[in-house]
Structure formats: structure tokens, C-alpha cells
Amino acid sequence: QMRLAARVGQVNPSLTLAIDSKAKAMKAEGADVCNFSVGEPDFPTPAHIRQAATDALEAGKTRYGAVAGEMKLRQAIAQKLQTENGLCYGAENVIVTNGGKHSLYNLMMATIQPGDEVIIPAPYWLSYPEMVTLAGGTPVIVQTDETTGFKITPEQLQQAITPNTRLFVLNSPSNPTGMVYSPDEVRALAKVVLEHDLYVVSDEIYEKLLYDGAEHLSIGAVSPEAFERTIISSGFAKAYAMTGWRIGFLAAPVELIRACSLVQGHSTSNVCTFAQYGAIAALEGSQDFIQDMLKAFSQRRKLMLSYLNEMPGITCVEPNGAFYLLPNIKRTGMKSIEFCETLLEEQQAVMVPGVAFGSDGYVRISYATDTDTIKKGMERLDKFVRSRL
Ligand code: PLP
């Protein structure tokens, strides 16, 4: 048997993908499965975006392109970051990547080496610590819970900093909690970042998925000093229902973009050329689609919360971003994996155990699914938790 590299042994397989494949297998065997593990909008990519990519394909945009992306897309992204986020970037500050996941991976490869620490608040998106580990660095996990709305406080951040800290990962709106840092909370974190000469990677992929008047402030927009210390990671997947297109981007000081281009130039090269034209259309075309999608998500979120609030043994804070809820299941006495496995076997409902996000005692439920599934699935969950108390 071939010897594998040690780094492979240090990485955990994706629990979400494992659960998803189990659910799909059950479905293939004919089971009536309610799937709440999905991390993607259940809407098709808007027609004008699909059309732009089709046109580009027909027009021969089928060849190798510049590693960092089509200039027109880099410009459109820089423009978006200026007008929507107040971040003064030019095209040279942007690299187009194969999804937000790839942006972050490039960044870790370009900046992290053995001995370096990266501060990650839990519950976290499960790829952050794994990417840090793959790059040879050390993830430093800071636990948060309901008492602070699952948000890291400036004091907690301060306490986690050591001379080896290189990066702090901020994700607002958050996967898996759905929580959104208020502008004041963002400013308070920026202060700590600057006091300690850190860099912050701000994963803003859910920035447009906000409810009940929640406001998104990019940490890079707090001050010119914070701007210099910020790296933005984002993508088209969530806001434009483009998960399978694999288009994301990183925006940062030029030296960092050059370093990421170097890594990307020897790994994936440019993102699929004609797909990038779809992304240009996403930014330049009508944004109405997002409002329609948000309206649907907002209703489903309320519906799901109303069920959860009636269930014994479960409590759930109300988040105002992304499309996830993270109810607390501690009073059921089950660990999150046991909870999800038994729920799947007994009630054919799929949820993701919180332990995958570094916080056992919770499960993640996605409401990027239709209302019938939500009603049926929540009734099953209700039956399940009642049977355990
Ligand atoms: N960041 C967060 C917080 C996410 O939840 C995801 C996707 O689930 C990503 C980044 C990466 O998205 P993609 O690679 O599909 O653009």
C-alpha cells in the first residue's frame, strides 16, 4: 500500500459530506427523507447569469485565461467592493478563485507555515481549521455560545492572541450560527486587531443574506488602518445561487494577491473562463433575484423558529443572517452525532451535528429548502425530541 503524506492523516473528513451521502443513499432506496443539511440555495441560477455564460461559451471564451481572473470580472468585483462595502480596492487587489473555499485555501497556503496560529471562533465553518492544518499551521479555537449570540468578544480575541498569531478568521453572517456581528461589534474587534498588528480574514460570503433589518459592516471599512489589515474572502455561490459554478474571490493588499496568484498559478490556474462571464452578469445585472430569494428564506426562517420554540428540550436563538439555525440540544442528553444519527434512522430527517463545527450540544438546520419539507421535518423532529424526554 502506498504511503500517504502525513498531512492527510491530520485532516478530518468532512462530516457534512458524509451525512449528505448517507441521506442520498437512503433516498435512493426509496426513503422519504427530509434534508436539512444543505448549504446551498434551492433556487436555480438566475436566467440572465446563465445566458451570459452561454453567450461567452458560444463566443469562444473557452481558452486559458489570466491566472488571477478575467480583467473585466476583477474590475467588476473591485467596483462592487467600493460601492457596496466602502472598500477602496482596484482590480489589482482582486484574485478570482474556484469558490470561496479556494480563496481561503490559497490564502492559507500563501501565509501560514509551521508555528503560525490562526484564531477561529467556534462554532466555525468546518473547513477553516482543516485548511490551517493542511498549511502546517495551528488553529486556535475560541468557544462561543448563546450568551454572546455565538460571537467572539474583543476580550476573548485578546486572550487568544500570542506572538505566533498570524490571522483571525471572522465570518459574518456566520455558517453555522446565522449570527451577524453588529457594526459596533465589528469596530470593537477591529480595535483589537490593530492593537496587536494582526491580519483579519473576513469571510463575507453570506453578506447579502440578512433579515429583520440586520446590517453588514465589513471590518475593512472600519478605518484606513483596518483596511490595510483586512483580507476579504467571498464568492457568488450563496447570493446568486451559483454553488456549482465555483467562483469566488479574495481581495487584499497587492502583495498578498500576488502571492495567492503564485499558488493558484501552480495549482488550478484560471477559473473556468466562460463561467466568469456569468459572474460579471451577476454583478452588473438586476439584483432583484436576491430580494425574492430573501423573502422566501425569511418566511421559512420564521416558520422553522416557530416550530423549534414549541419543542421541549430544545432552545434556539434567533439569528438574522445566512440560512441556518443552530438549536441547542443539550437537554436531550444526547451528543450531537448520536442525536443526528438516531434522528436520521428513526425519523428520516437530516441535520448536521454541531461537533462538526467545533460545538457539540448543537445541531445545524438549514432552511434552504421548501416549506412542505420544513413542516414535515419539524413535526418529525418534534416527535423525536418528545420521545427522548
Ligand atoms: N465560507 C463559508 C462560511 C461557507 O459556508 C462556504 C460554503 O459553504 C464557503 C465559504 C465556500 O463557498 P464556495 O466555495 O462554494 O464559494
Among 103, 175, 208, say which to mutate for ligand 1: greatest number of ligand atoms within 8 Å of CB.
175
Closest-lying ligand 1 atom to the alpha carbon of residue 322: 5
| Average pLDDT rounded to a whole number, residues 203-208 | 98
pLDDT digits (tens, 9 = 90+) for 123-181: 999 999 999 999 999 999 999 999 999 999 999 999 999 999 999 999 999 999 999 99
Cell of 86: 466602502
Tell me the CA–centroid distance for residue 162 and ligand 1, in Å: 28
Checking if the pLDDT of 16 tops 80, the result is: no
Distance (Å) from CA 175 to ligand 1 centroid: 8
Residues 246 and 375 in one domain: no
Sequence-distant (≥ 6) Cβ neighbours of residue 58 within 8 angstroms? none
Atom of ligand 1 nearest to the CA of 235: 16
Q: Which residue's CA is minimally distant from atom 8 of ligand 1?
A: 39
- Residue 190, in any domain of the structure: yes
Pocket of ligand 1 (CB under 6 A): 39, 99-101, 125, 171, 175, 203, 205, 235, 237, 243, 248
Question: For position 270, what pLDDT does the model report?
Answer: 97
Question: Is the whole-model pTM more than 0.95?
Answer: yes
Asked whether residue 18 carries a pLDDT value surpassing 90, the answer given is no
Final residue belonging to a domain, choices 284, 315, 337: 284
Ligand 1 centroid, distance to 241 Cα (angstroms): 12
* C-alpha cell of residue 337: 452525532
- Is residue 249 in a domain? yes
Say whether both 26 and 162 belong to one domain.
no
Within a domain: 349: yes
Whether 102 and 163 map to the same domain: the answer is yes
Q: In this structure, are 314 and 262 located in the same domain?
A: no
Specify the pLDDT at position 10: 87
Which of 3-12, 141-150, 171-180, 354-363 is least confident?
Answer: 3-12
Based on the fold, state whether residues 34 and 183 are members of the same structural domain.
no
From ligand 1's centre to the CA of 284, what distance in Å? 22
pLDDT at position 20 is 78
For ligand 1, the distance from its centroid to the CA atom of residue 1, given in whole angstroms, is: 34
Q: Which domain holds residue 21?
A: 6-44+288-388
Distance 205 CA to ligand 1 centre (A): 7
* Residue of 98, 238, 250 with the most ligand 1 atoms within 8 Å of its CB, for mutation: 238
Are both 301 and 207 inside the same structural domain? no
76 & 181 share domain = yes
* pLDDT of amino acid 12: 81
Please state, for a pLDDT cut of 70, what percent of the chain lies above it: 100
Give, for ligand 1, the residue of 205, 207, 268, 326 to mutate: max count of ligand atoms closer than 8 Å to Cβ.
205
Q: What is the CATH number of the domain that holds 359?
A: 3.90.1150.10
Supply the pLDDT for residue 379. 98
The verdict on 337 and 379 lying in the same domain is: yes
User: pLDDT at residue 19 above 90?
Assistant: no
Report yes or no on 1 lying in a domain. Answer: no
Identify the residue whose C-alpha is closest to ligand 1 atom 5.
175
Looking from the CA of residue 104, the nearest atom of ligand 1 is: 10
Atom of ligand 1 nearest to the CA of 243: 15
Residue 276 in grid coordinates: 466568469
64 with 26, same domain: the answer is: no
Q: Does 336 lie in the same domain as 273?
A: no
Q: Ligand 1 centre and the CA of 311: distance in Å?
A: 30
Mean pLDDT of 37-44: 91
pLDDT tens per residue, range 323-349: 999 999 999 999 999 999 999 999 999
Which of residues 262, 284, 306 is at a domain's end?
284
Task: Look at residues 231, 256, 284 and tell me which one is the last residue of a structural domain.
Answer: 284
* 182 lies in the same domain as 58: yes
Q: Are 300 and 371 in contact (CB under 8 A)?
A: yes
Count, residues in the chain: 389
Residues 237 and 252 in one domain: yes
Q: Is the pLDDT of residue 21 over 90?
A: no
pLDDT over 80 at 15, yes or no: no
Instruction: State which ligand 1 atom lies nearest to the alpha carbon of 103.
Output: 14
Could you tell me the CATH number of the domain that includes residue 187?
3.40.640.10
Q: In ligand 1, which atom is closest to the CA atom of 39?
A: 8
Cα–Cα distance for residue pair 264/96, rounded to 1 Å? 10
Average pLDDT, the chain: 96
Distance 100 CA to ligand 1 centre (A): 5
* Number of domains comprising the chain: 2
Nearest atom (ligand 1) to Cα of 247: 16
pLDDT above 90 coverage of the chain, percent: 93
Tens-place pLDDT, residues 104-126: 999 999 999 999 999 999 999 99
| Averaged pLDDT for residues 264-273 | 97
pLDDT recorded at residue 24 = 87
Q: Using 50, 70 and 90 to split pLDDT, how confident is the model at 38?
A: confident
pLDDT at 33: 96
Cα–ligand 1 centroid distance for 384 (angstroms)? 30
**Whole-angstrom distance, CA of residue 226 vs CA of residue 183:** 14
